[in-house]
Amino acid sequence: MLKLTDTTVKFGAFEALSKINIDVQEGELVVLLGANGAGKSTIFNTISGLNKPASGEITFLGKRVNGYSPDRMVKEGIVQCPEGKKLFPDMSVQQNLMMGGFVHRRHKGQLKDSLEEVYELFPILKEKRENAAGSLSGGQQQMVAIGRALMARPKLIMLDEPSIGLAPLIVEQMFSTIKQINQSGTTVLLAEQNANAALKIAGRAYVIENGSVVLQGRSEELFNNDAIRKAYIGA
């Protein structure tokens, strides 16, 4: 579905990504694991068209999409849920969600259907739909961010560190919802430092260090890999 081939990204003289190779099949849930500064968000920003690769190729559904603008990528079916949520804190929950729905030309009925689907996934957001997004708890704000991305009806959703700053119990609920999103037919690319939680729901993983893929494989293999346990699981 998505394929990055030898993709290199530079910020001035600094090479943030060095010949990255990543592929995601339709229907998969794949995680990019890596510490702060490894290059996970840069990979997402490159796929979503915010960064232009210096070299290499990105294809989506068989089409070369290098250099496409971010709004074009959303129309192609890739939506990013950015690190740090980036909500409009003074706007209501529902207004924030609706922001995600305006990328396609759709009529009111279709937007309402999408909104109801998001509320089915996150019932608490329906209860709080008139509240200012900024007044919600961290976990609920993350739900708004994911819900807003889903409003664009992505084929592939990229979730950038959705567990950051959340209590362990909330992380567990969040990850089970992410799995549910995947099982209902949306391909998921997840960026995480929480290897323990992420490897439990992902089918495959790539380990990113200093802008390179240093390891890849099935989640259960990586979960049992000593180096990974030491570096990312702490056991």
Which residues, 34 to 73, sit near ligand ADP by CB under 6 A? 34, 36-42
For residue 83, state whether it binds Mg ion (rule: CB under 5 A). Answer: yes
Compute the least distance from the CB of residue 35 to ligand ADP, in Å. 7
φ, ψ for residue 155 (rounded to 5)?
-85, -35
DSSP assignment string, 74-133:
HHHTEEEE-TT----TTSBHHHHHHHGGGGS---HHHHHHHHHHHHHH-HHHHHTTTSBG
Applying CB under 6 A, the site for ligand ADP has a residue count of: 11
Q: How far is CA 155 from CA 26, 151, 189, 217, in A?
A: 8, 12, 11, 23
Max CA-CA distance within the chain?
Answer: 52
Candidates 1, 2, 4, 16; binder of ligand ADP (CB under 6 A) is 16
Q: What does the block give as tokens for 184?
A: 């209902």
Compute the least distance from the CB of residue 11 to ligand ADP, in Å. 3
Would you say 115 or 158 has its CB closer to ligand ADP? 158
Q: What, of Mg ion, ligand ADP, none, does residue 235 touch, CB below 5 to 8 Å by kind?
A: none
Compute the least distance from the CB of residue 83 to Mg ion, in Å. 5
Write out the residues near ligand ADP by the rule CB under 6 A. 11, 14, 16, 34, 36-42
